[in-house]
Structure 1
Amino acid sequence: MQNVVIDEAALTSMQTLLGEHFESTLLFCHSEFDRLHQELAEHFDTDQETAVRNAHSLKSNAAQFGAVSLAEIARQIEHLLGGSESNQARVYLEQLAPHISSTKEKMTSWLVTQ
């Protein structure tokens, strides 16, 4: 599995922007990581357009909250599926669940130290 990389400056910026709503928004973001992963996996073999859209949304959400490595995995899936390279995209898809879990843990640990 790829190392989890978090851009703490992005988290700090979001925290400053959202103020008292940051923690609840971060928790919502974590649930979105899970939802988008689930929908991506559900549509991976049956609806490529929907799968690409879910990968794109996961990439965007992850990047916005500084989840650099998660955004990169989602970007790879989006790119490979868009190029009809589903076998290679599947390798990244299999990395998503553990990477999302580790990303959420690292982000939560960061939050606790603030």
Structure 2
Amino acid sequence: MSKESISKVYLILEKIEYIEEIVKNSGSITGALEDQVTSRPAILMHLTAIAEQFNKLKREHADDILSAFDNNDVKGMYDVRTYIAHDYEGVNLAIIEWIIREGLPKFKKQCKTIINE
């Protein structure tokens, strides 16, 4: 694993922790997503940044790192990034809520495992 690739894993972990902090400060995931001025845009930008880091790892052929993640989860994250970036008929907040509740904890655990290896 190259230092450059590992730095992307650290950035993914950092963005996940930022989202967790936003949710904590808002009192709930739904509360954070209801805040159209600050919290929701911040969450969406952090999710976009996470997806971009996965895409960079893919372009670098960092298979040693990517193999620690479920391929469908990574693809799903990038698909959501596309919807966020291009606002195709609005972003489905139920999907974003699911990602925050179910997907991010899984990614966080996988990132920590990679970092601790």
TM-score, normalization: structure 1? 0.50
What is the CA-CA distance between 1:52 and the residue it aligns to? 4.2
Percent identity over paired residues: 9
- The reply to whether residue 78 of structure 1 matches residue 84 of structure 2 is yes
In angstroms, what is the RMSD of aligned CA positions?
4.1
User: Is the contact made by 1:30 and 1:104 (CA closer than 8 Å) also made in structure 2?
Assistant: yes
Contact 1:41-1:93 at 8 Å conserved across structures: no
| Residue identity matched to 1:75 | R
Note if contact 1:77-1:92 (Cα within 8 Å) is conserved in structure 2.
Answer: no
Partner Cα distance (1:14, 1:42) in 2: 34
What secondary structure, in the 3-state scheme, does the structure 2 residue paired with 1:13 have?
Answer: helix
Deviation at residue 99 of structure 1 after TM alignment: 0.4
When residues 83 and 109 of structure 1 are mapped into structure 2, their CA distance, relative to the original with a 3 A threshold, is same
> Over residues 58-91 of structure 1, what are the superposed CA-to-partner deviations in whole Å (9 max), with x where a residue is unaligned?
21145336584574264156258x34445xx133
The match for 1:6 is none
- Aligned pair count? 95
**Distance 1:105-1:94 versus aligned 2 partners, 3 A rule:** same
The whole-number CA distance in structure 2 between the counterparts of 1:29 and 1:14 is: 16
Pairwise CA distance, 1:107: 0.5
Structure 1 runs of 4+ off > 2 angstroms?
A: 25-30, 38-54, 61-74, 82-86
User: Which is further off, 25-34 or 98-107?
Assistant: 25-34
Q: Deviation at 1:102?
A: 0.2
1:83-98 → structure 2 map (5 Å cutoff): 83-85=88-90, 89-96=92-99, 97-98=101-102
Which residue identity does 1:109 align to in structure 2? T
Q: Deviations over 1:14-65 (max 9, x none)?
A: 54x69xxx96x675443113235x2674353452786345312321145336
* Superposition map of 1:36-47 within 5 A: 36=22, 38=23, 41-45=30-34, 47=36
Task: Return 102-111 or 61-70, whichever deviates more.
Answer: 61-70
- Listed as ranges, the gaps of 5+ residues in structure 1 are 1-8
Aligned letter for 1:60?
A
TM-score (norm 2): 0.49
